[in-house]
């Protein structure tokens, strides 16, 4: 896929403490007379309808943007961030407008450096649809995973590219569901697994991530990558015996703390919200914040405030640990193994599922389990899988106690419940932790239950007999959100749709 196919829109990210320092833009085009300068990494952050952050690693100390490729006119001096990157915030941009940019303040932009600002909040894109790409546990593109999963993240990307080449509609929003850079989420892991795996995408779209367990490096009590059980981001350890430090995730990404891209200010980069046109997005922190009762309560209170002020057509929430899963290594019914490092699955389900039901969340996406699992249209399931009643859920959702609807074809879901007073109180939960690898056997979940969570829908494309309620293949998710219709598709590495459901407004 070319950059021009992908540059229909992006949202951006910025820490509020940097804004005053890096938002000094100058419309004096005589300053745009430098040379385009090579970068080690180049990506967009916090692209909204009126602003964008250009962020890079390299020698350049300034950037220019403009609406004409060979006549860049808006100059910005860079500020150096804690991670050693440079960034410039450009403001007063026009909604849904194409801009070109140069790193080094040249007057002419390279062919592959452009972006499109997002539509005004609440407005549909010009093509009538917001397209979201979601990948989970995709961080296998580096040395740490190369022997066992070489090329799999690139295959998933290629599958998405092949699919959208068929209809020609570009991606607008790019989201990562955690475990973005194996194995310890170091700056070097991120360089390989993110910046060298998705370079073209990142030049045109802002990436919106969430924190996975591998973002916190090694655990203190069990010094194995991904087993950290601390709530303190300053206890990050990449190599056993090293002194704790701040986690690279928070140094690399400058995420909105003050509602810079929409939503209610969270006051922390660990969780945040933003708007893109007619969709409201929320990223929660199930790895750090969820492990401290006071912090979890604060995040829950913030989410209620945020969703209470939200009137978007659609609402999508992401976090790493799935409330419902029978993955190979992560079972939402069995969270106490290995010292309880998987307890966030239970805590997030118990604390947040009622909020999702009561405040109009439409979709929840998670990673962690390296498979694809998609639920029925659920409501009121805060317990383990043995508390799920298919008959009760079917009756609540579609008035048919005999069988829950699939969301496929003629069984499309209705956003407003016909059986509970015409409110938006149902949610589809999806585990998409197969963006860089897919497990082929089970080690924690009982093999007889692997990929068979009763709240998940049976997958016709599964090769097992009888068919399971999940797919053990690599792939990613595309969500298409129009004014009155939302379609979510699971796309495999060949660009084929293996699962799809629809919600109508």
pLDDT in tens, 102-137: 999 999 999 999 999 999 999 999 999 999 999 999
CA 490 to chain centre: 15
Q: Which of 248, 250, 160, 238 is nearest to 197 (CA)?
A: 160
Phi, psi of 387 (to 5 degrees): -95, -5
Alpha helices in 1-141 (DSSP H): 3-6, 16-22
Summarize the confidence of residues 489-494 as an average pLDDT: 98
Provide mean pLDDT across the span 271-277. Answer: 97
For the domain made up of 3-116, the CATH class stated in words is: mainly beta
CA distance 421 to 244: 52
Judged against a pLDDT cut of 50, whether residue 12 lies above it is answered with: no
Distance of CA 334 to the CA centre of its chain: 25
pLDDT at 22: 40
Residue-wise pLDDT for 285-299, tens only, equals 999 999 999 999 999
Summarised one tens digit per residue, pLDDT across range 417-460 is 887 788 999 999 999 999 999 998 888 899 999 999 999 999 99
| 41 DSSP β-pair partners | 57
**In whole angstroms, how far apart are CA 456 and each of 233, 398, 444?**
33, 16, 19
Q: Please, are residues 15 and 254 in contact by the beta-carbon 8 Å criterion?
A: yes
> Among candidates 192, 170, 173, 171, which has minimal Cα distance to 181?
192
User: Closest by alpha carbon to 97, among 51, 165, 131?
Assistant: 51
Mean pLDDT of the chain: 92
The rounded distance, in Å, linking the Cα atoms of 48 and 260 is 9
pLDDT value, residue 24: 57
Q: What is the mean pLDDT of residues 280-309?
A: 98
Q: CB–CB of 236/244 below 8 Å? A: yes
Query: 273 is written with which tokens?
Result: 């919200």
With a cut of 50, say whether residue 483 has pLDDT above it: yes
pLDDT at 27 over 80: no
Element housing 174 (H / E): strand 173-176
pLDDT recorded at residue 8: 34
pLDDT at 146: 84
**Band of residue 7 on the pLDDT scale cut at 50, 70, 90:** very low
Worst-scoring range by mean pLDDT, 184-193, 391-400, 487-496? 391-400
237, 227 in Cβ contact below 8 A?
A: no
Q: Are 78 and 86 in contact (CB under 8 A)?
A: yes
Radius of gyration of the chain (CA): 22
Per-residue pLDDT averaged across 346-356, rounded?
98
Decide if 3-116 and 130-504 have a common fold.
no
Q: How confident is the model at residue 21 (pLDDT cuts 50, 70, 90)?
A: very low
* Residue 1 clears pLDDT 90, i.e. is over it: no
pLDDT tens profile 188-239: 999 999 999 999 999 999 999 999 999 999 987 788 999 999 999 999 999 9
By residue count, the chain amounts to 505
State the pLDDT at residue 16.
29
What is the structure's pLDDT at 6? Answer: 33
Q: Which helix (H) or strand (E) holds 305?
A: helix 293-308
The bridge status of strand 363-366 relative to strand 314-318 is parallel
CB atoms within 10 A of CB 1: 17
Contacts of 247 (CB under 8 A, 6+ apart): 185, 215, 216, 217, 233, 234, 236
Say what the pLDDT of residue 17 is. Answer: 27
Q: How confident is the model at residue 11 (pLDDT cuts 50, 70, 90)?
A: very low
Q: Enter the DSSP assignment of 287.
A: T
- The CA distance from 211 to 236, in Å, is 13
130-504 is a CATH 3.10.20.30 domain: no
Q: Exposed, middle or buried: residue 223 (CB in 10 Å: 0-12, 13-18, 19+)?
A: middle
Q: What does the pLDDT look like over 131-172, one tens digit per residue?
A: 999 999 999 999 989 889 999 999 999 999 999 999 999 999
Per-residue pLDDT, 151: 95
- Residue by residue, DSSP assigns 440-457 as -S-SSS-TTTTT--TTBP
Give me the residue spans of the domains in the chain. 3-116, 130-504
Token couple for 300: 């829950």
Has residue 18 got a pLDDT over 70?
no
């Amino acid at each position: 896929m070319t950059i021009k196919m992908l540059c229909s829109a992006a949202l951006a990210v910025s820490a509020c403490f940097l804004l005053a320092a890096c938002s000094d833009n100058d419309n004096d085009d005589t300053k745009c007379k430098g040379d385009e300068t090579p970068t080690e990494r180049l990506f967009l952050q916090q692209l909204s309808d009126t602003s964008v952050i250009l962020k890079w690693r390299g020698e350049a100390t300034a950037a220019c943007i403009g609406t004409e490729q060979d006549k860049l006119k808006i100059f910005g001096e860079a500020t150096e961030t804690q991670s050693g990157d440079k960034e410039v915030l450009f403001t007063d941009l026009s909604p849904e407008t194409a801009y070109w940019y140069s790193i080094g303040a040249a007057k002419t932009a390279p062919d592959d450096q452009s972006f499109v600002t997002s539509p005004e909040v609440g407005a549909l894109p010009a093509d009538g649809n917001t397209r979201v790409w979601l990948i989970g546990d995709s961080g296998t593109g580096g040395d740490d995973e190369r022997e066992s999963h070489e090329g799999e993240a690139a295959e998933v990307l290629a599958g998405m590219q092949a699919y959208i080449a068929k209809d020609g509609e570009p991606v607008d929003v790019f989201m990562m569901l955690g475990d973005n850079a194996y194995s310890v989420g170091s700056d070097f892991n991120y360089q390989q697994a993110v910046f060298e795996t998705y370079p073209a995408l990142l030049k045109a779209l802002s990436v919106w991530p969430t924190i996975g367990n591998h973002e916190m490096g090694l655990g203190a009590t069990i010094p194995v990558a991904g087993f950290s059980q601390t709530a303190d981001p300053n206890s990050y350890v990449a190599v056993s015996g090293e002194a704790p430090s701040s986690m690279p995730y928070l140094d690399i990404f400058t995420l909105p703390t003050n509602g810079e891209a929409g939503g209610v200010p969270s006051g922390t980069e660990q969780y945040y919200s933003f708007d893109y046109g007619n969709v409201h997005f929320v990223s929660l922190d199930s790895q750090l914040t969820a492990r401290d009762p006071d912090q979890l309560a604060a995040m829950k209170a913030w989410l209620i405030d945020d969703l209470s002020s939200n009137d978007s057509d659609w609402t999508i929430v992401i976090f790493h640990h799935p409330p419902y899963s029978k993955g190979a290594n992560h079972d939402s019914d069995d969270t106490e193994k290995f010292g309880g490092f998987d307890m966030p699955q239970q805590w997030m389900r118990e604390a947040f599922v009622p909020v999702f039901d009561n405040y109009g969340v439409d979709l929840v996406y998670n990673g962690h389990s390296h498979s694809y699992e998609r639920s029925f249209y659920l409501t009121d399931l805060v317990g383990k899988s043995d508390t799920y009643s298919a008959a009760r859920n079917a009756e609540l959702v579609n008035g048919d106690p005999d069988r829950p609807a699939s969301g496929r074809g003629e069984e499309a879901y209705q956003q407003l419940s016909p059986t509970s007073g015409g409110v938006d109180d149902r949610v589809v939960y999806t585990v998409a932790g197969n963006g860089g690898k897919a497990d082929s056997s089970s080690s924690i979940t009982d093999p007889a239950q692997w990929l068979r969570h009763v709240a998940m829908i049976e997958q016709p494309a599964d090769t097992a007999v009888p068919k399971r309620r999940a797919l053990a293949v690599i792939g990613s998710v595309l969500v298409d959100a129009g004014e009155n219709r939302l379609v979510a598709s699971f796309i495999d590495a060949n660009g084929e749709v293996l699962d799809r459901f629809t919600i109508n407004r």
